[in-house]
Every structure is written in structure tokens, then in C-alpha cells.
């Protein structure tokens, strides 16, 4: 009796273990590792790409970008703009609810957008939407009208940026600690310093994802990303450093996806200071730069030579523009013409992590007699230095990169090259100023005819390129490493990972 009872217990325990074990194996989960911790769970109050990746699984916008970077319906099914471009009407998707059951309707959109454009809230998104949107009007349950301050032709693209995600009115002031959206995954927990966990939203209006759970982790250490993929502790890593690509490609069971990105890397030249105020000198530096060489050596081939200040994938990008070829001879001629046959020295302000790129330029420019001083700075100090107002700005040249969240030329050209964008107002770091460019950018921003708009951006790009305001170097690739049984994950041009309906195939 006693013995058989004990046997019963053992059998029961074994069965229990099997059941628990197998159900645990059933619960599909995906672990994604990025290089930094999310800075906030409030989609409207950060500007970090890898924070956006995490939040994009939970939140949605009125419009969305697809894999071809085209605008597609999101929480709005359709939209139209008024004749004068001052009014945009969005027709909302019906039957959608936020994760906590709050219905998604026109009032919810108004509450969410009103928060974004309220200057007193001091949110990061305010800088994007504040100057554009005048007022949000609720017409009926599923119709909202956005009244703009000026026409904004790329408005559907603006509404697709991660910071314009619609958060639930139920948590409107606490969204940083209680994220509630409408996306395919809903928030479970954020263990600071460790992980963010999400589970699939069974009531999702679109296709309910197959994978039940997402776990987001992070490590600033490149080699940890690689090892985590090798041990299988992590399913997806991004951004994978180019140096590790070839190693991982040979590793069994692991796959690397590399796609051209929309981030342009450049050196801004201070056009108000000698000798860079001379266009010939700026062109000479462009000719002295071996862009393909940089990509091959430092980026291990993971990039594309930049031919324009606007990157591919953006509306208005001019693919016909010809990149400055590597021509040291021509560079020396131009320098001689400008009176610098003996060369000169130039300090380039650069953040620590990017110093190696400037060091590569140092070698190239020495060939034409230009001596580069690598002025390496910690991030915060760099930002203070390069954004100093014109009178106080001591920076001769600065290395930086840029991508436009809207994938529209306006956000690549206006902040970087318009006279109104001199620091600290915006990021025209070289104080470049050209009347025709200003005029084109202003007109294009309000032009509602796409073709006419594109033509203006192409003309502006040509002028900026010719006047060599920047040394545009390369467009970086987005590199994702993943287990080869994972599908349905892709990156947006700016490097943001999209994990909305991943699949684990056997």
C-alpha cells in the first residue's frame, strides 16, 4: 500500500513534469538583443532608434511604413488633404481597442495628439509636430481632421514616425510607466537594466502574431551580441557590427541580413571660417576623400558611397548626382588655386565612438597636404561644442550622421542646410547659407504637387553638392544577425527593427 502510494506519487510527478515541460516548449518566445537599453517607454519622449524598435511592437500610428518604405494605412484606413493643403482628414479603423480595452476612436486620437503638441509637456515629439499641427478636430467617432499651421505635403509620413504613435487616453499622463497601445504585442514588464517583456495581443485587429512572447535585452558590448547569437541565448541581434559579419555568416544556424540604410554619414565644414569659407578648399577635401576605401577598410564593405546629402529611400533623393571621385591630383590643384599649395591643418570634432572614421580621413588628406587633428569628444561635450551659436562656435569641422524619420528630403535638407537652421536652432553645423537653397526648401515644404516638389529638392541637392557644404561620406547598412529559423523581421531605413509578426519555422 505504502509502496504503491509512493509509486503513484512518482508517476504523478513524472507526468506533471512532462506536461509542464511540454507546455513550456509550446510557449514560443523570441529574444532580441540590441546595443542599448530603451530610454523611455513613452514613444513621444525619446529620439533613440533602438528604443523605437522596442516600442514599435506595442504602439501604432495612423499611418505606417511598409518594407518598401511606402506609406500604408495604420490606425487610419484612409485620408485626404484639402485643396489648399491646410487640412488633413483621417478616417479611422473601426473595431480597434487599446490593450486595456479602451476603445480606439477619434477622441483617443485627439487626446494623444493634443499631448504631443502641448509645449508645456516638453516632450521630444513636440519639436516635430508642434510647429506643424494647429489643432485636431473630432468630426465623428471615426473621423478626425488635422488643421495645419502651414501646408505640409509629407504629413502622412510625419504621422508615421514612432514618436507620433497613438497612446491610450486611459494612461495619457502615465504612459512612461504603463505603456498601453494598440499594437500586436502588449506590455508585460520592464525590468530596468535587464529586459522588457511583451506578450502577444490576442485581440489584435490585424493578424495575431504566432510568437507568444517577445523579450528585449541589451548589451553595449559588440562581442557579447555575437556570442549571445552563437550560444542561442538570443534569437535576434542588432545592430551587428560589420567586423563580425563574416564570422557569423560561417557559423551554422545563424543568418545575417544586411540592407541598405538611410543614415548618411558626413563631415560638416564651417563655411564661415578660413580656409573652409573657400568653396575650392571644400571641394578639394571632397576630392581627397576615398569613400569606397573608407567603406572597404573601416566598414568591412557594409555601406554605399554617398552621392548626395539626401540618402536613398527618401522622397526627393537624386540618384543621378555623381559622388566626388577620389582624385588627389584635382584636390591639390584646387588647393593651389585657393592659395593653399602648402596645405593647412583642420580639427574635426568627433564623438569617441566614431573617432576611427576621422582617423581614416587623416591618412587620406595627408596625401594632399591637409593635416587633420582628431578632436575626439565625449558625446555630451561634442553636442555642446557643435551646437554652440555662431559667434561662440569654435568648431572647424564636425563628423556626424543623419537620417530622416519621415523618409522625406525636407527633414534631411532643411535642418542641415537652411540659413534658419544655424545652431543652436537646428543642425546646420557648418553655417552654410545659400539664398537659392533657402528659397527652394521653403517653397518645397509647402508645395502640394509631388513632382514639382521633387524637382525643387533635386535642384537644392545639386547646389549643396556643388558647393560642398558637407563631405558626404557613405550611407550605412543596417545589419541584423538572427537564428536561421526566424522569419518576418525587417529593418526600416533608419535602422529601426520591426518585430510585429515574427515567425519561428521548424
How far is 165 from 144, CA to CA, in rounded Å?
Answer: 15
Please report whether residue 227 would count as binding another protein according to CB under 8 A: yes
List the interface residues with another protein, window 130-149 (CB under 8 A).
130-131
**CA dihedral sign of residues 365, 366, 371, 373:** positive
Per the DSSP assignment, residues forming a β-bridge with 81 are: 88
Given candidates 9, 18, 188, 381, which one binds another protein under the rule CB under 8 A?
381
List the interface residues with another protein, window 415-444 (CB under 8 A).
415, 424-427
Going by C-alpha positions, the residue among 393, 379, 389 that lies closest to residue 423 is 389
Number of residues that bind another protein (CB under 8 A): 54
Please report whether residue 394 would count as binding another protein according to CB under 8 A: no
Please report whether residue 219 would count as binding another protein according to CB under 8 A: yes
- Sorted by sequence, the CB contacts under 8 Å of residue 353 that are 6+ apart come out as none
Given candidates 88, 104, 216, 218, which one binds another protein under the rule CB under 8 A?
218
How far is 156 from 149, CA to CA, in rounded Å?
Answer: 15
The number of angstroms, rounded, from the C-alpha of 194 to the middle of its chain's C-alpha atoms is 23
Please report whether residue 249 would count as binding another protein according to CB under 8 A: no
Q: Which is nearer to another protein, 387 or 490 (CB)?
A: 387
Please report whether residue 41 would count as binding another protein according to CB under 8 A: yes
- Least separation in angstroms between residue 19's CB and another protein is 22
Given candidates 300, 387, 446, 490, which one binds another protein under the rule CB under 8 A?
387
3 state SS for 211-226: CCEEEEEECCCHHHHH
Which of these segments, 6-14, 100-108, 324-332, 383-391, binds another protein (CB under 8 A)?
383-391
- Any idea what DSSP says for residue 278? S
Please report whether residue 97 would count as binding another protein according to CB under 8 A: no
Given candidates 29, 39, 111, 455, which one binds another protein under the rule CB under 8 A?
39
Angle at 223 between CA 479 and CA 493, to 5 degrees: 15
What does 132-191 look like in DSSP terms, one character per residue? Answer: TEEEEEEEETTEEEEEESS--TTHHHHTTSGGG----GGGTTTTTTS---SSSEEEEEEE
Please report whether residue 176 would count as binding another protein according to CB under 8 A: yes
Given candidates 119, 391, 392, 451, which one binds another protein under the rule CB under 8 A?
119
List the interface residues with another protein, window 291-350 (CB under 8 A).
none
Please report whether residue 164 would count as binding another protein according to CB under 8 A: no
Given candidates 30, 32, 34, 37, which one binds another protein under the rule CB under 8 A?
37
- Least separation in angstroms between residue 237's CB and another protein is 12
Please report whether residue 231 would count as binding another protein according to CB under 8 A: yes
How far is 94 from 10, CA to CA, in rounded Å?
Answer: 54
Please report whether residue 483 would count as binding another protein according to CB under 8 A: no
Please report whether residue 120 would count as binding another protein according to CB under 8 A: yes
Which of these segments, 9-17, 118-126, 269-277, 453-461, binds another protein (CB under 8 A)?
118-126
Q: Residue 110, SS3?
A: helix
How far is 499 from 506, CA to CA, in rounded Å?
Answer: 19
Please report whether residue 47 would count as binding another protein according to CB under 8 A: yes
Residues 178-197, one symbol each (x = binds another protein by CB under 8 A, - = not), give: -------------xxxx---
Going by C-alpha positions, the residue among 386, 369, 383 that lies closest to residue 269 is 386
C-alpha torsion 410→416→420→425, nearest 10: 110
- Sorted by sequence, the CB contacts under 8 Å of residue 482 that are 6+ apart come out as 229, 235, 236, 237, 254, 255, 256, 257, 489
The residues that touch another protein, with contacts defined as CB under 8 A, are: 37, 39-42, 45-48, 119-124, 126-127, 130-131, 176-177, 191-194, 217-221, 223-224, 227-228, 230-231, 233, 378-381, 383-385, 387, 400, 402, 405, 411, 415, 424-427
Amino acid at each position: 500500500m505504502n509502496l504503491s502510494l509512493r509509486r503513484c506519487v512518482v508517476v504523478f510527478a513524472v507526468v506533471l513534469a512532462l506536461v509542464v515541460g511540454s507546455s513550456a516548449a509550446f510557449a514560443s518566445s523570441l529574444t532580441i538583443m540590441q546595443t542599448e537599453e530603451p530610454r523611455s517607454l513613452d514613444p513621444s519622449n525619446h529620439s533613440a532608434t533602438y528604443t523605437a524598435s522596442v516600442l514599435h511592437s506595442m504602439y501604432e500610428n495612423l499611418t505606417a511604413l511598409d518594407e518598401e518604405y511606402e506609406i500604408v494605412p495604420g490606425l487610419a484606413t484612409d485620408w485626404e488633404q484639402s485643396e489648399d493643403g491646410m487640412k488633413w482628414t483621417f478616417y479611422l479603423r473601426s473595431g480597434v481597442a487599446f490593450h486595456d480595452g479602451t476603445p480606439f476612436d477619434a477622441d483617443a486620437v485627439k487626446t494623444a495628439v493634443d499631448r504631443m503638441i502641448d509645449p508645456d509637456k516638453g516632450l521630444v515629439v513636440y519639436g516635430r509636430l508642434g510647429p506643424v499641427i494647429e489643432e485636431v478636430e473630432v468630426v465623428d467617432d471615426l473621423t478626425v481632421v488635422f488643421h495645419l499651421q502651414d501646408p505640409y505635403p509629407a504629413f502622412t509620413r510625419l504621422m508615421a514616425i514612432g514618436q507620433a504613435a497613438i497612446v491610450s487616453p486611459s494612461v495619457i499622463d502615465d504612459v512612461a510607466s504603463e505603456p498601453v497601445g494598440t499594437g500586436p504585442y502588449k506590455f508585460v514588464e520592464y525590468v530596468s537594466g535587464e529586459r522588457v517583456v511583451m506578450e502577444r495581443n490576442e485581440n489584435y485587429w490585424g493578424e495575431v502574431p504566432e510568437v507568444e512572447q517577445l523579450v528585449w535585452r541589451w548589451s553595449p558590448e559588440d562581442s557579447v551580441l555575437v556570442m549571445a547569437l552563437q550560444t542561442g541565448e538570443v534569437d535576434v541581434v542588432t545592430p551587428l557590427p560589420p567586423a563580425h559579419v563574416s564570422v557569423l555568416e560561417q557559423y551554422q544556424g545563424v543568418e545575417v541580413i544586411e540592407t541598405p540604410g538611410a543614415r548618411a554619414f558626413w563631415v560638416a565644414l564651417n563655411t564661415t571660417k578660413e580656409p573652409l569659407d573657400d568653396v575650392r578648399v571644400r571641394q578639394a577635401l571632397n576630392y581627397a576623400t576615398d569613400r569606397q576605401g573608407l567603406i572597404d577598410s573601416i566598414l568591412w564593405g557594409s555601406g554605399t558611397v554617398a552621392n548626395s546629402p539626401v540618402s536613398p529611400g527618401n522622397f526627393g533623393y537624386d540618384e543621378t548626382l555623381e559622388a566626388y571621385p577620389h582624385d588627389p591630383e584635382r584636390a591639390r590643384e584646387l588647393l593651389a588655386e585657393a592659395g593653399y599649395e602648402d596645405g593647412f591643418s583642420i580639427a574635426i570634432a568627433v564623438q569617441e565612438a566614431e573617432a576611427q572614421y576621422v582617423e581614416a580621413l587623416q591618412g587620406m588628406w595627408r596625401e594632399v597636404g591637409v593635416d587633420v587633428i582628431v578632436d575626439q569628444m565625449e558625446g555630451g561635450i561634442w553636442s555642446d561644442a557643435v551646437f554652440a551659436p555662431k559667434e561662440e562656435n569654435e568648431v572647424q569641422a564636425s563628423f556626424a550622421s543623419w537620417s530622416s524619420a519621415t523618409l522625406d528630403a525636407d527633414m534631411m535638407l532643411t535642418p542641415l542646410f537652411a540659413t534658419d537652421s544655424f545652431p543652436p536652432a537646428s543642425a546646420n553645423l557648418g553655417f552654410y547659407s545659400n539664398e537659392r537653397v533657402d528659397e527652394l526648401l521653403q517653397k518645397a515644404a509647402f508645395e502640394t504637387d509631388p513632382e514639382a516638389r521633387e524637382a525643387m529638392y533635386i535642384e537644392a541637392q545639386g547646389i549643396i553638392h556643388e558647393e560642398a557644404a558637407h563631405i558626404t561620406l557613405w550611407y550605412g547598412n543596417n545589419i541584423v544577425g538572427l537564428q536561421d529559423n526566424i522569419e518576418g523581421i525587417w529593418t526600416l531605413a533608419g535602422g529601426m527593427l520591426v518585430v510585429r509578426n515574427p515567425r519561428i519555422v521548424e
